[in-house]
Amino acid sequence: MFMFTSLQRLHHVVRSRDHTQKPTKGTKIKESCRFCDVSVSPGFDIVHEDDIFVAFRDRNPSSVHHIQLITKTHIDSVQSLSTADVDLVKSMERIGHNILDSLDVPPHQRKLGFHIPPFNSVQHLHLHLQGLPYKSLVRRMKYPVVQGGKGSVKGFSWFVNVSQLIELLERRRCVRVMPC
Ligand SMILES: [Zn+2]
Ligand SMILES: [Zn+2]
């Protein structure tokens, strides 16, 4: 009986130590998030992985190629980013293009961008990497890239492409559905 409880306690200590040793670079892993721990979850078709990012094929693709590139640590959305994250987003852009290169997607058939809350389906920052065309008009409508008018980087849209996002962060502007 004594042995049993000691082992249980030991098991508990080891488990909690494991937990605190998870890589928490800036932001924590969220237990309830289905994009945290993608690299160890079964069923994800992973196309790229390094220390900071993981990319996997979307299970319900909107276009010929549709991949999600995410950070391993939990970041809620584009609205959690600041000027300090410009390099992070530029790395995502570079890795994204490398993946699309490997799939032979020509430059004019690429779309790389993020949904803006509350239009993000998963609350964990994910860059959509798409090789066009879209499978339907309805799918195309989910990812509109709208250029800004005078004084704005982006027009009215629930989607921001990666270069618009970099420019907004560099200008210290917040990312919104309304023109910004
Ligand atoms: Zn997450
Ligand atoms: Zn999205």
**pLDDT band, very low/low/confident/very high, at 27 (cuts 50, 70, 90):** low
Verify whether residue 66 is a known catalytic residue: no
- Please check the confidence at residue 17 and state whether its pLDDT lies above 80: no
Q: Is 6 a domain residue?
A: no
Q: Which ligand has an atom closest to residue 113 CA?
A: 2
Structure tokens at 171: 């200008």
Q: Is 93 a domain residue?
A: yes
Q: How far apart are CA 54 and CA 124, in angstroms?
A: 12
Percent of the chain with pLDDT over 90: 76
The one-character DSSP state at 29 is: P
- How confident is the model at residue 28, as a pLDDT? 65
- How confident is the model at residue 125, as a pLDDT? 97
Q: Is 15 a domain residue?
A: no
Residue 160 lies in domain = 25-170
- Please check the confidence at residue 12 and state whether its pLDDT lies above 50: no
Least confident of 34-38, 59-63, 116-120, 125-129: 34-38
Q: Which ligand has an atom closest to residue 126 CA?
A: 2
- Please check the confidence at residue 61 and state whether its pLDDT lies above 60: yes
Domain at 131, CATH number: 3.30.428.10
- How confident is the model at residue 18, as a pLDDT? 38
| Ligand 1 centroid distance, CA of 106 (Å) | 31
| Ligand 2 centroid distance, CA of 175 (Å) | 14
Structure tokens at 36: 């945290």
Q: Which ligand has an atom closest to residue 119 CA?
A: 2
Structurally, how many domains does the chain consist of? 1
Q: Is 166 a domain residue?
A: yes
- At residue 130, the 3 state secondary structure works out as strand
Q: Is 19 a domain residue?
A: no
Count of alpha carbons within 13 angstroms of residue 145, beta-carbon side: 12
Q: How far apart are CA 160 and CA 77, in angstroms?
A: 12
- Please check the confidence at residue 26 and state whether its pLDDT lies above 60: no
Q: Is 111 a domain residue?
A: yes
| Ligand 2 centroid distance, CA of 58 (Å) | 10
**pLDDT band, very low/low/confident/very high, at 111 (cuts 50, 70, 90):** very high
CB 29 within 8 A of CB 13: no
Q: Is 40 a domain residue?
A: yes
Q: Is 58 a domain residue?
A: yes
